[in-house]
Amino acid sequence: MRLAGKKVIAFVDEEFEDLELWYPIYRIQEEGAEVHLVGQEKGKKYIGKYGVPAEAQFSYEEIDGENYDGILVPGGWAPDKLRRYPKVLTLISEFHEQKKVIGQICHAGWVLISAKILNGVTVTSTPGIRDDMENAGAIWKDEPVVVDGHIISARRPPDLPPYGKALVDALAKK
């Protein structure tokens, strides 16, 4: 239980990529961490692209980043919504400043772009947002998982096994 006592935020909004939310959550929970689903509305059931629901346990405004060790941002179309909430961007920025673990997969890079934290950071994402990542100053690699300090990134669902391992390893080091 390498992550016993650790707490992680998992952002959720409509049309998240089901596997990209749940697989990392389960991997982190298997190692003993507590994961909180956080959305715009506490108690709302957000529906993933393939119909799997995720109920927000907390709203963004209820969360104090000081109480958490990491953030997970799933892909799908949810990141296009998540990046519109100032509190989401504030939390991402604060975690970046404090070098806390930030996990992002697929289209989740959009949230990090909007938080303006990617300049000079080496990352991956779905190839569809490569230009967006590079235009934000990131160094983009077409690799299953890229670890640049506290930022862990992956491309898509087939990359979930190495992404889950990289997330757990990063959280265990903090």
What was the pLDDT predicted at 174? 81
Read off φ and ψ for residue 105, nearest 5 degrees: -140, 145
Q: What is the pLDDT of residues 57-107, one digit of tens each?
A: 999 999 999 999 999 999 999 999 999 999 999 999 999 999 999 999 999
- Tens of pLDDT, residue by residue over 110-157, are 999 999 999 999 999 999 999 999 999 999 999 999 999 999 999 999
Tokens of 125: 């994402």
Q: Which helix (H) or strand (E) holds 172?
A: helix 160-173
Q: How far is CA 82 from CA 63, 87, 89, 168, 173, in A?
A: 15, 9, 8, 23, 27
Structure tokens at 135: 């235009």
The yes-or-no answer on residue 107 being catalytic is yes
Start-to-end Cα distance in the chain: 14
Model's pTM, two decimal places? 0.97
Q: Are 167 and 33 in contact (CB under 8 A)?
A: no
Strands of 40-160 (E only): list them: 45-47, 53-55, 58-59, 70-73, 101-105, 122-123, 139-140, 145-148, 151-154
